[in-house]
């Protein structure tokens, strides 16, 4: 932590938003690899889950990167006070050159932008591009198109980035382009695979116009909360010495119907990260085990005890 007492000013700040399971954490990890090594970056991760996993995946031994994780819901609610407290603490403790904020997949980006463009932050934060990651396959799903929150994440963004495009059909790509063009013909769009965002995309200024809306804020908030209430959050935490059957665990997680399942686990095949979203399951290895945890977010109503018993059967 720096002992510098000079005023904090002009911190390049980006919001990277997007719905559950779209790949925001992977995108931020890619960005961290691209930064100039003498720059200090701080990342504020707000997770919808009860305890959180994403922040742990970003942790490393680089002292010029600081990750602050705020699990358990949306920090942009309650008049923005939780967000402001978290941002103020992070700025004071780290004095970063760049601040990245990753709202939860159920976060309200318009409220976040309203807080961060408040007069209190005008000399402190230099708001750069607000980015929305989107899975083009979701554009066909009425549940998403009729969601005020999903549409709002697109509307407030300066750049909409289609992720997971390797999984899309040609017609889905065209429908995505047509949909964005219809909503705002001036909005930038990009196409990536595995969250491979380019750092220079973040450096354009945030457009104030992107934050405007003709919809009533009361109705917008009401609909957002209704959507958020449809999701169930289940977290199972284990001591780090407990080991799971890797093959059985991945097969079981793949069988569950959920918007997003993330896990960091000790298995008989090593320390593993499991990410299951959009019908796709990915795994990666870790050098060390920080937590032993499974987190499920789903519109399906699971019985916690039955699920816990099934998971216990996979312990070696």
Q: Out of 2-6, 50-54, 136-140, 163-167, pick the least confident.
A: 50-54
- Of residues 247 and 71, which shows the higher confidence score? 247
Q: What is the 3-state secondary structure (H, E, C) of 2-69?
A: CCCCCCCCCEEEEEEEECCCCCHHHHHHHHHHHCCCCCCEEEEEECCCCCCCHHHHHCCCCCCEEEEE
pLDDT for the residue 51? 52
Measured CA angle at 280 (ends 277, 282), to 5 deg: 95
pLDDT tens digit string along 150-161?
Answer: 888 888 899 999
Q: How many Å apart are CA 8 and CA 20, to the nearest integer?
A: 33
Between 149-158, 217-226, 229-238, 289-298, the lowest mean confidence (pLDDT) is in: 217-226
Q: Residue 253: what pLDDT?
A: 93
CA distances for 39 relative to 62, 66, 83, 96, angstroms: 11, 11, 24, 8
Contacts for 239 with CB less than 8 Å, ≥ 6 apart = 292
Q: pLDDT over 70 for what percent of the chain?
A: 82
Nearest CA to 238 among 148, 136, 314, 157? 314
Query: What pLDDT sits at residue 153?
Result: 86
- On the question of pLDDT at 162 being above 80, the answer is yes
Q: Which residue reads 């958020």 in tokens? A: 228
Ranges 17-26, 63-72, 191-200, 276-285: which has the least confidence: 63-72
The reported pLDDT for the residue numbered 220 is: 46
Q: pLDDT-derived band of residue 56, with 50, 70 and 90 as boundaries?
A: low
Question: Which among 44, 43, 100 is positioned nearest to 75, based on CA atoms?
Answer: 44
- pLDDT over 50 at 221, yes or no: no
Least confident of 7-16, 28-37, 296-305: 296-305
Three-state secondary structure string covering the chain: CCCCCCCCCCEEEEEEEECCCCCHHHHHHHHHHHCCCCCCEEEEEECCCCCCCHHHHHCCCCCCEEEEEECCCCCCCHHHHHHHHHHHHHHHHHCCCEEEEECCCCCCHHHHHHHHCCHHHCCCEEEECCEEEECHHHHHCHHHHCCHHHHHHHHCCCEEEECCHHHCCHHHHHHHHHHHHHHCCCCEEEECCCCCCCHHHHHCECCHHHHCCCCCHHHHHHHHHHHHCCCEEEEEEECCCCCECHHHHHHHHHHCCCCEEEEEEEECCEEEEEEEECCEEEEEEECCCCCEEEEEEECCCCCHHHHHHHHHCCEC
What pLDDT, on the 0 to 100 scale, is given for residue 3? 52
Q: Whole-angstrom Cα distance, residue 297 to residue 294?
A: 10
Report the mean per-residue pLDDT for the chain.
Answer: 82
**Stretch 67-85: mean pLDDT, rounded?**
65
Give the per-residue pLDDT at 6: 84
Mean pLDDT comparison of 74-78, 148-152, 249-253, highest-scoring range: 249-253
Q: What is the mean pLDDT of residues 62-90?
A: 70
- pLDDT (average), residues 57-76: 66
Chain position carrying tokens 């961060």: 116
Q: How far apart are CA 281 and CA 142, in angstroms?
A: 24
- The answer to whether 41 and 98 are in contact (CB under 8 A) is yes
Q: What is the pLDDT of residue 141?
A: 76
Mean pLDDT value of segment 260-269: 90
Which of 71-80, 128-137, 277-286 shows the highest mean pLDDT? 128-137
Q: Supply the pLDDT for residue 103.
A: 83
């Amino acid at each position: 932590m720096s002992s510098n007492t000079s005023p904090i000013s002009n911190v390049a700040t980006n919001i990277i938003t997007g719905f559950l399971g779209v790949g925001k954490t992977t995108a931020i990890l890619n960005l961290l690899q691209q930064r100039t090594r003498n720059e200090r970056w701080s990342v504020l991760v707000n997770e919808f889950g009860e305890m959180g996993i994403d922040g742990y995946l970003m942790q490393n031994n680089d002292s010029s990167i600081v990750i602050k994780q705020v699990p358990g819901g949306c920090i942009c609610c309650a008049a923005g006070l939780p967000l402001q407290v978290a941002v103020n603490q992070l700025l004071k403790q780290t004095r970063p050159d760049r601040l990245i904020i990753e709202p939860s997949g159920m976060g309200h980006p318009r409220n976040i932008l309203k807080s961060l463009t408040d007069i209190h932050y005008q000399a402190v934060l230099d708001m750069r591009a607000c980015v929305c990651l989107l899975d083009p396959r979701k554009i066909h799903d009425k549940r998403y198109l009729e969601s005020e929150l999903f549409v709002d994440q697109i509307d407030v963004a300066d750049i909409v980035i289609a992720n997971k495009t390797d999984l899309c059909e040609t017609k889905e790509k065209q429908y995505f382009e047509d949909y964005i063009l219809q909503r705002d013909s001036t909005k930038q769009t990009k196409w990536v695979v595995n969250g491979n965002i380019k750092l220079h995309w973040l450096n354009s200024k945030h457009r104030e116009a992107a934050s405007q809306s003709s919809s009533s804020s009361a109705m917008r908030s009401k609909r957002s909360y209704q959507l958020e209430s449809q999701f169930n959050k289940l977290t199972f935490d284990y001591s780090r010495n407990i080991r799971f059957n890797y093959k059985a665990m991945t097969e079981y997680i793949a069988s569950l119907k959920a918007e997003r399942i993330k896990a960091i686990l000790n298995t008989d095949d090593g320390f593993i990260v499991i990410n299951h979203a959009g019908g796709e399951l990915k795994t990666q290895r870790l050098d060390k085990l920080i937590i032993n945890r499974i987190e499920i977010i789903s519109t399906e109503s699971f019985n916690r005890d039955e699920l816990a018993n099934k998971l216990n059967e996979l312990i070696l």
